[in-house]
Amino acid sequence: MDIIGHFINGKIINDAARTQAVYNPSTGQVSQQVAIASRSTVEQAIAVATAAFPSWRDTPVIKRARVMFKFKELLEKNADKICELIGQEHGKISHDAMGELQRGIENVEYACGAAEFLKGEFSKNVGPDIDSWSEFQPLGVVAGITPFNFPVMVPLWMFPMAIVCGNCFILKPSERDPSSALFIAQLLKQAGLPDGVFGLVNGDKEAVDTLLHAPEIQAISFVGSTPIAEYIYTTATAAGKRCQALGGAKNHAIIMPDADLDNVVNSLLGAAFGSSGERCMALSVAVAIGDEIADQVIEKLQTEIKGLKYGAYSDQSNDFGPVITQAHKEKVLGYIDSAEQQGAKIVVDGRTAKVTGFEDGFYVGPTLIDAVTADMSSYKAEIFGPVLQVIRVQTMQQAMQLINDHEYGNGTCIYTRDGEAARYFSTHIQVGMVGINIPLPVPVSYHSFGGWKRSLFGDLSAYGPDGARFYTRRKTITQRWPSTNIREGKQFSMPTLN
């Protein structure tokens, strides 16, 4: 059986002292083994990147950008191959994988503009014959730790920006679906990136901790669950590193009485069940204002869910595929069980899902739960599966309070025709990304992605303008070239323009 290796100094290497199974979630069968990096392997990747940094830092920014232009071309040329790898190891349906890749490519496009957004500011004659300007300089060697649910898009949030800003980057992708990241590492080399500037190590906590404690690593980017995000952030910052750690989510949709319910239902279906709900921006809670609206929405959802099709990634007619592992399937089923035990009503039950010809796959069918309350375990947690819960409240204020009280503040949306209500909602809701009649308000590449509260640890969001600032340091330079005919006297007071 093939072993998926690491990518260090422009070559694929195997550190096979330890391996871990990689599954095809559609079939439930082991497809490959992935090498789990030892501490020495991670340290080797760090040493190679450290050696490559001075030359890459001094490479003109336009030449760094040209590598990204070529890389974008290669991503597009190899799109079908990349999506196949995503499907084989994640289970994501091909059309969904293509959407993930396209979102990632858009971040590469933004990074191609580095010559513009790395320009500093210049002020002439801030004092007599004194000029001042700022520069944005790279940090050095930085690292990214990315999740299984977007094995291509999330790495593309990170390393194109870091690299084009002049840093060297080490990626630790999810060990559950590592092949697509390894493939795009090879595309970077084809695009002309010098060996050592980008490295990839597969691994577990040992690899992560090595990155966190290595003094050469200047910054860490992370996307994953909140408990791990908090661990990454506290450990990295305690070691003096810059850190952005994106955590979990519980995304609510408020359905106002004036909403277009047909559009609401269509939006909820895609946002709740797309990618089997394994998205940090998945809409997992519908908050209906009034029982009448709740009853109508549930009736329409119940009808539409019957027409949803789930199955293997390779069938384009499927709406969504399996969850990532058997263990994760059992976790999702456990939350459905707990909701039922705590008094919620299972309207559509996906716990017995089976797909003909793929009986051993890790499938959970679309599940709709009514009469959910804020004290239930299934409401408090991020289920990360194809489960949509409905909570009934009587007013918009109650709905907003529910959202504001939740520990997560990643994404939310409101369905309404009332501009005043929408404006009030967007102003006062305590959530980082807000949609108005938009179910998945994921910012485009030239904005930045980040939640509030325990959905984001750190001061800067991912990609876009915040990404450029995260991977650079501002340096301000003030200079004066005094005339040779003028000699200045001693001055002991604070310099001013007086």
Q: DSSP letters along 380-415, please?
A: HS---SSEEEEEEESSHHHHHHHHHHSSEESEEEEE
pLDDT tens for each residue of 168-227:
999 999 999 999 999 999 999 999 999 999 999 999 999 999 999 999 999 999 999 999
Average per-residue pLDDT for the chain: 96
The pTM (predicted TM-score) of the whole model is: 0.95
Give kind and range of the element (H or E) at residue 333.
Answer: helix 326-341
341 and 333 Cβ atoms separated by less than 8 Å = no
Could you give the CA distance from residue 383 to residue 377 in angstroms, rounded to a whole number? 10
Write the CB contacts of 306 (distance below 8 Å, at least 6 apart in sequence).
none
Tokens of 54: 């001075």
Comparing CA positions, the residue from 142, 135, 170, 158 lying closest to residue 241 is 142
Could you give the CA distance from residue 349 to residue 92 in angstroms, rounded to a whole number? 21
Tokens of 327: 């263990």
Percent of the chain whose pLDDT exceeds 70: 99
For range 423-438, the mean pLDDT: 97
243 is catalytic: no
pLDDT tens for each residue of 369-401:
999 999 999 999 999 999 999 999 999 999 999
For range 318-330, the mean pLDDT: 97
pLDDT of 486 strictly over 70: no
The pLDDT of residue 159? 98
Among the ranges given (315-319, 329-333, 485-489), the one the predictor scored with the smallest mean pLDDT:
485-489
Comparing CA positions, the residue from 250, 254, 264, 497 lying closest to residue 379 is 250
Half-sphere exposure of 461 (CA within 13 A, CB side): 20
* From 112, 165, 243, 280, active-site residue: 280
Q: Which domains are delineated in the chain?
A: 3-247+455-477 (3.40.605.10), 251-436 (3.40.309.10)
pLDDT tens for each residue of 52-75:
999 999 999 999 999 999 999 999
Tokens of 293: 């609206």
456-457 vs 242-246, strand pairing mode: antiparallel
The pLDDT of residue 127? 87
Tokens of 469: 């600032």
